[in-house]
Structure 1
Amino acid sequence: MNKPLESSNDPARLDHRQQQSSTTNHPKRYLKTITLISSFGGLLFGYDTGVINGALPYMARPDQLNLSAFLEGLVASSLILGAAFGAVFTGKLADSKGRKRVIMYLAFVFLVTTIGCSFAQNAQVMIFFRFLLGLAVGGASVTVPAFLAEVSPVELRGRMVTQNELMIVTGQLLAYTFNAVLANYSGGVSHIWRFMLVLATLPAIVLWIGMFFVPESPRWYASKGKFKSAWRVLMKIRHPKRAKLELTSIKKAVHTEQKLSKASFKDLAIPWIRRIVFLGIGLSVIQQVTGVNSIMYYGTQILKDSGFSTNVALIANVANGIISVLAVFLGIWLLDKVNHRPMLMIGFAGTSFALLMISIFSMTLNGTALLPYLVLSMTVMFLAFQQSTISPVTWLMLSEIFPQRLRGLGMGVSVFCLWITNFMISLLFPVIQEFIGLSATFFLFFLCGIAALLFVKLALPETRGKSLEALEIYFRNKGRKIAVGDQNSKLRL
């Protein structure tokens, strides 16, 4: 009788019949199923952040939740505040309980909190459940990409992980589309916003049920010393020979990680580590300060203030969702073909121009029939640059600049700062717009865009084509040139 794999640590000893039966599996087909089901977490992320765009004008009415400008901002941003804490704490929970189990927990939280938001009778209850919903959104933003990265083969990793980003913008597009359809066919029913919100229960149920048919991450099993379980999963998602090689590689990685001491905030006293963390924070902040989520969350309100009626603004806002999806496809294609710093600089130049034009048009054409169409065209241009360059490069560079020992701390701090910046902009946007007007508000975003462009030009290094080890040497040497071999080396997994 063969010994358990945990004891033998030798996949070659697995029963021969199991290896033969595994060859009848279809790993790529199964991986597609895993990706589709788990990325429903991204779809929920997108829907729940996008649905407020169309629901807010209705729930703000006096006969509904009677929201002031500040309460509108709090309703929209409470989810983002919850997401900031969800992103920080869910990572540790996923390390302890497993990726699959935590995603199932998140699906349940999505379901319960969506129902709570849909039946809220006042602003306080709505804000409470939106905050709890944000915990699930933040948890999904961390756990789903990590799970996909751990189950995917090297050559499919980029495609599988970026599919989660695609599902996020798809969720936002679905939210904008359903908002428009429900609003235009509701016959003017004031509580139509409740139907907009409750639709998110459907993907939450699909995610929860679907995860029963998805395996746990083999790398998580290995990190807990459960190599036999890791082997069984690998035999389902890889061909047998590759499964054996990958398990050996995973074991070596686990052994290496066990020898590494965990980074802590005390390490910020080291100049080169402090520089990387500050770069990560800066990259996270500039991705948000141009006001991308003011358009994603308040796009309908912006178009309404420009001159569209509420129903027309809801329909027009669908264009923002469509361009976001198309731009993500373009961004995925560009990442492997264009250096990252130029992509960011072109992106910030494009978004800054669109923001400046919105400011100028709002000031010079206020009250004209042309203004809402010009504002719509500029929001579409803004999102085309944002989603094809800035957003994909930001997340990719955040995963590249931190060395292995620092990655958990650096990513945690950076993503937390990203969510907090998002929260502050989401909270204050309606208040600032009410106080200084649409034109001045977007001029402030334009100035932030110029500052972001300067940050990229003066502070960020190029990361494309450099291994993680080469980047660590670069930062240790305070940005001095590294050996040609390191410059041209690529990540080998």
Structure 2
Amino acid sequence: MSLTPSHSTQRLRELVAKTPASGKKRSIGFLAVVACLGGFLFGYDTGVISGALPYMHLPSEAGGLALTSLEEGLIGGFLLFGCAVGAIVGGRLSDRFGRRHNILLLAVLFFVGAVGCVLAPNIVLMYIARFVLGLAVGGASTTVPVYLSESAPKEQRGMLVAVDQLMIVTGQLAAFAFNAVIASLQGGPQAVVENDPSGTYQAGETVSWDLLAGIAGVSVSEGNGHAWRYMLVLCSIPAIALWIGIRLMPESARWHVSRGELEEAIGSLKRLRIEGRHDVLVEVAEMEEARRLEAKREKLSLRAGFRVPWLRSIIIFGGTFAILQQLTGVNTMMYYAPKVLMAAGFDSQASIILNVFTGVASVIGSAAGLLALRRFGRRQVLLVGQAILTLSLIAMTAIFLLGINPYINLDGTVSPDIPGFVPYLVVVVIVLFMLGMQSGPGPVMWVMLSEIFPASIRGAANGFAVMLLWLANMLVTVTFPVLMDGVGPVFTYGLFAAINIFAVTWYYLRVPETRKFTLERIEWEFREAGGVIRLR
């Protein structure tokens, strides 16, 4: 392998021989556990809000925030806006100051955002704290996979990056489980009646907020709305563990090489590699050669890419793919499953507990998706998963239209005369939806975004697509509760079903099969064809 003149093979061999490890030895397994706490926090902080929202709807006298539907959506929206900003800024900070340094900063942001949410006395400060938390989530989404892939030996790289993705859904499952435990201990959202103009309840009586919310002019003196603070404070614990753990880890050797810091790179590698099993000399030489070739490679800005027709086609394709992945409505299930289940006739407490099934389905679906991508083509996995979730959305629309709407009372509550199995059909559909989403469009989109963009514009185009993804996520998150309360579940899920019928058609007609091609061959094919074509 040829090296730069100033760092000949002999010189590099001498550096490796004389440079000691920069600290105590750390196993790759330990590094993965620590770094994946970032993915776990990503999942926990996005998932925990689903169980907290029912308690936040309580009046301030009862410990809640007296949320409206729009405010409910904005609590998720501000986090996702922070994610969009954090993904862009986090990547740049990571390149400038280092992966390890960036993860340390993210741990602080996770902690500050979590504590800020817990202590927020009003909705405005809650928005600010959620935005800070979003910065951490967005930064983690770009920094942690890079740190893992750059630190792991090549034979373990794919597995560790896949584990990070699995930790995200595991974090969501943990959030749903802790929410369920707290809801079981606290009971569903409830308040002590102070004055009931309807005369239904007596002063001093403790009543479920599900029943009180529909009474005009009712006032309460206290309640258990503070339960949402218990749910949110738990995510500060992994943030502390991440901050302590990442301080024990070395910086990415590849980041050091990118800055010409070969001795520091060797010291970092020696902390993570097992002598006799891994050849540090060969690995550093490969990194240095890659850095030299990268320096010669043409780089284009996003704006310059849009001026080239075949590149513009790929950028638009990637952005459309990212948007459609979010318009599946996946976050209506992740963030608002209890709201959907309450609309189906369950009370608040049961809805929060049943949401655990959403998390379990998400973890199983993610694991199935990772296995499927190792055996089958991208298109196959994508189309099967998309078909399952689209049929689930059609089924959800039909269940609300034919099974639930006929039993809706004038005050919006579900009649006790509804057949007992109907609400549980909604649970089944949510589980099937999550299985389809997390085994299909969920993993496939991330894999294909890493494959379709040419090297000259890969960083800028991928960042643009991820930004669109977070913005689409924010749009769905903000509008969903408003749609549910404004036009009802039938229209809302009918709209998502229509969008996803279009999506599955677009995927079938436009998505290429990239599994059998190198990145260089994919770029050549697209260049020759003048844009994205259906590779086979």
Scaled to the shorter chain, the TM-score interval is: over 0.9
Partner of 1:332: 370
Change (3 A) 1:481 1:287: closer
Secondary structure (helix, strand or coil) at the match of 1:114 reads helix
Amino acid at match of 2:229: R
Distance in 1, Cα, partners of 2:274 & 2:512: 39
Q: Deviations over 1:63-86 (max 9, x none)?
A: 321110000000122101110111
Partner of 2:202: none
Partner of 2:46: 49
Measured after TM superposition, the shift of residue 406 of structure 1 is: 1.1
Partner of 1:348: 386
Distance in 2, Cα, partners of 1:304 & 1:460: 37
Amino acid at match of 2:271: K
Measured after TM superposition, the shift of residue 260 of structure 1 is: 2.4
Partner of 2:14: 13
Secondary structure (helix, strand or coil) at the match of 1:215 reads coil
Partner of 1:303: 341
Amino acid at match of 2:342: K
**Contact in 2 for aligned 1:348/1:450 (Cα 8 Å):** no
Q: Structure 1 residue 287 and structure 2 residue 329: aligned?
A: no
Q: How does 1:74-473 map to 2 (within 5 A)?
A: 74-187=74-187, 189-240=224-275, 242-264=279-301, 265-366=303-404, 367=407, 368=418, 369-473=420-524
Where does structure 1 lack aligned partners over 5 or more consecutive residues?
Answer: 1-5, 489-493
Q: Deviations over 1:24-54 (max 9, x none)?
A: x98xx71111111011011111000000000
Measured after TM superposition, the shift of residue 235 of structure 1 is: 2.1
Distance in 2, Cα, partners of 1:263 & 1:231: 31
Where does structure 2 lack aligned partners over 5 or more consecutive residues?
Answer: 1-5, 191-223, 408-417
**Contact in 2 for aligned 1:87/1:141 (Cα 8 Å):** yes
Measured after TM superposition, the shift of residue 14 of structure 1 is: 4.0
Measured after TM superposition, the shift of residue 242 of structure 1 is: 2.3
Q: Deviations over 1:398-419 (max 9, x none)?
A: 1011122211111100000000
Measured after TM superposition, the shift of residue 365 of structure 1 is: 0.9
Distance in 1, Cα, partners of 2:30 & 2:503: 39
Change (3 A) 1:481 1:300: closer
Distance in 1, Cα, partners of 2:444 & 2:486: 34
Secondary structure (helix, strand or coil) at the match of 1:463 reads coil
**Contact in 1 for aligned 2:309/2:530 (Cα 8 Å):** no
**Contact in 1 for aligned 2:311/2:531 (Cα 8 Å):** no
Measured after TM superposition, the shift of residue 60 of structure 1 is: 1.6
Between structure 1 and structure 2, the one with the greater Rg is 2
* TM-score between the two structures when normalised by the length of structure 2: 0.85
Distance in 1, Cα, partners of 2:262 & 2:184: 55
Q: Deviations over 1:410-443 (max 9, x none)?
A: 1100000000000000000000111111111111
The more displaced of 211-220 and 184-193 is 184-193
Change (3 A) 1:235 1:297: same
**Contact in 2 for aligned 1:11/1:231 (Cα 8 Å):** no
Partner of 1:491: none
Bigger fraction of residues in helix: 1
Measured after TM superposition, the shift of residue 150 of structure 1 is: 0.9
* TM-score between the two structures when normalised by the length of structure 1: 0.92
Secondary structure (helix, strand or coil) at the match of 2:175 reads helix
Distance in 2, Cα, partners of 1:283 & 1:156: 29
Q: Deviations over 1:370-417 (max 9, x none)?
A: 222001100000000111121111100010111222111111000000
- How many correspondences in the alignment? 475
Distance in 2, Cα, partners of 1:320 & 1:393: 20
What's the C-alpha RMSD, in Å, of the aligned pairs?
2.1
Amino acid at match of 1:215: P
Amino acid at match of 1:440: F
Q: Deviations over 1:129-180 (max 9, x none)?
A: 1011101110000000111111122222211001111111011001001111
Measured after TM superposition, the shift of residue 456 of structure 1 is: 1.0
Secondary structure (helix, strand or coil) at the match of 2:336 reads helix
Measured after TM superposition, the shift of residue 15 of structure 1 is: 6.7
